[in-house]
Homo-oligomer: A and B are copies of this chain.
Amino acid sequence: MYYSKLFGKTSRHAPQDAVADSYKLLFRAGYIRESTAGRYFFLPLGMKVQQKIMKLVKKEMDASGAQEMVSPVLHPLELWKETNRTNTTGFELMKVKDRRDAEFALGGTAEEMFVDVVRKFHLSYKDLPFNIYQFSTKFRDEIRARGGLLRVREFIMKDGYSFHADVEDFKKEYKNMRDTYKRIFDSLSLTTQVVESDNGYIGGEYCHEFVVDAKIGESNYLVTPDGTYAAHEDVALFIPANKNLGEELLPLQEVPAVRGTTMEDGVKLHKKPLWQQIKDVLFVDEKGRFILSIIRGDYDVNETKLKHVCGSIELRHATDEEIRGKLHSEPGFISPVKIKEIMDKDVSLLLVADSSLRTIKNAYGGANKKHLDLFNMNIDRDYKPDVEGDIALAKEGYMSRDGVQRLVEKQGIEVGNIFQLGYHYSRLMKDATFVDQDGKEKPYYMGCYGIGIGRTMAAIVEMHHDERGIVWPSAIAPFQVHLIGLNLEDEEVNAKCKNLYEELLKKDIEVLFDDRSTSPGEKFADADLIGIPIRLVVSKKTGDKIEYKERMSKDSKLLSVDEIVKLLK
């Protein structure tokens, strides 16, 4: 490709609101342009990289036994109604009507579509298992769409769905996919951490994110230093340290407490440790039920864990009006003690206690009245939770479950995920069954496997760049060679350049040839920005030879055409 002919050349400046290095570089080097916020053009250079990524993903998916197909982009909304996903999707669903008033969803994921096509075939156990996947445009009506390709509203996703006779068969495919993803990201020069994560309302233990360690990422997760444990903060476990378990239980006692409403105000007033205080967080769920979650004062409530413990889909914080009007308590002074006795009789309240309350004795905190606190609250004796469980948010420095290593907090970019769907979709959708060996119709046991292609591209740039530009791994570089011609006004040099260009093309080497009449400095800077692995320079100075330099090397060497071809093949 002649650079002079390329559509999408370099720019000096990135957009003012660009924060992520990957966005700045992909913009400046001429790989992408924003259409509207979160929707991008992939320019010819960007397209080449995207296609190489997709090709590598496809290669490993096919090798794993999965089969590529494709579903329409517009999903009939009836399907999403069958699974009640028109209301419960985490991402905002975009809908469109056609001229016959038929409603469609712009696919965010395609579980219903794939179940729908599978059920058309009335399969038997002999046809199982199989894993079918597609690359297709997905839509997410995100509130925020910043960071270039890291968080977008429209993107190509590889989404795969596996169909099994039972959970045992699914587990084999889950391992197969986990290994396949590892190979995919390895081939893309991305080091990924496989992180346990939350499977939302579907639940189950088989749910992992593939995360690239990067400060710009939006996935927060915790790991043990030896790497044997990695879990998203939504689900990470830890062992709460025992505190004053040796103490004797003291009698419950009301004390005046003219203080503010924060935990710190309590610590300051009573001069007792934060961990001994009870933290009360009051939520209301989608059914209007009040959830009073209580936890040791130095810990925070993890809303995801809390949802699972309560079986709630959505949680919001209760208002001051609700706390006073319905529970007859006081913001900042809520207490589990006797709260069910003072609240309105028609209120439904679930009292959920974190297990960490078993690690302390004689706790202090509010007394459900303004400027009144309680000392020596003890679980079982003074209050009885409806549910007791793990609702604590893990943090850096907490003890991991192995009892030896402390957790380390990390941020990363989620580039892929794998998770079980179980019977969730096949039970909600009619006739999503196969005929088993015993002649009976049974629902499919399913799994789901996604990779965001654009985000993967951004993650690669985040991992592979320096202050001068992108440093593409060879496997996905848009071209293998960036050929720079200098002194092109010199006919001999010009001819030599063109000959070399043609020679390399004949050998099936992908070459971007900077044939412009701009300054050497500009050409070198553009080459570094664009990030092609090998730079070749032909000029008056190079004589019979060609200057060869790798993108990250400081040294260049003079080589013959033959030597270069040999190196590149």
Contact = CB atoms under 8 A, between A and B. Distances in A.
B117 A35 contact: yes
Given A94-B98, A154-B74, A117 B67 contact: no
B132 A33 contact: no
Nearest to A76: B36
A69 B43 contact: yes
Assembly stoichiometry (copies): 2
A130 B95 contact: no
Contacts of A72: 35-36, 39-41, 154
Contacts of A75: 35
Interface residues of A, number: 55
A67 B96 contact: no
- Tell me which of A44, A69, A96, A126 has the highest count of chain B C-beta atoms within 10 A of its own C-beta: A69
A46 interface: yes
A289 B139 CA distance: 45
Contact of A65 (B5, B99, B126, B137): B5
A509 to B, nearest CB: 16
A95 to B, nearest CB: 7
B117 A33 contact: yes
A527 interface: no
A141 B94 contact: no
Given A5-B65, A7-B132, A41-B69, 6 more contacts: A1-B67, A33-B117, A35-B75, A41-B113, A42-B70, A44-B68
Interface of A: 1, 4-9, 33, 35-36, 39-44, 46-47, 50, 65, 67-76, 92, 94-96, 98-99, 102, 104, 106, 113, 116-118, 120-121, 126-127, 130, 132, 137, 139, 141, 143, 153-154
17 contacts: A7-B69, A9-B121, A33-B117, A33-B120, A35-B72, A35-B76, A36-B102, A41-B70, A41-B71, A42-B70, A44-B67, A47-B68, A73-B73, A94-B98, A95-B96, A96-B96, A99-B141
